């Protein structure tokens, strides 16, 4: 029983196939949040600029 437990622990330590996929997922989520914040911030700035421009015409 002890040997089986040691084999399972050793196998789980060596198996990190999904680790890279999870890291890419975190990066994707972080980049998506950064884009959302940038679009929200720049979108209102561009809207203000266009409103000011059109009111001056």
Dmax over CA atoms of the chain, in Å, equals 84
What pLDDT is attached to residue 9?
65
| Predicted confidence pLDDT, tens digits, the chain (57 residues) | 667 766 766 666 666 666 777 888 899 999 999 999 998 889 888 888 889 988 887
Q: What's the DSSP call for residue 1? A: -
Q: Where are the domains of the chain?
A: 17-56
pTM of the model: 0.51
């Amino acid at each position: 029983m002890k040997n089986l437990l040691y084999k399972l622990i050793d196998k789980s330590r060596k198996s990190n196939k999904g680790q890279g996929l999870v890291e890419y997922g975190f990066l994707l989520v972080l980049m998506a949040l950064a884009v959302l914040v940038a679009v929200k911030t720049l979108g209102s700035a561009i809207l203000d600029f266009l409103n000011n421009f059109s009111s001056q015409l």
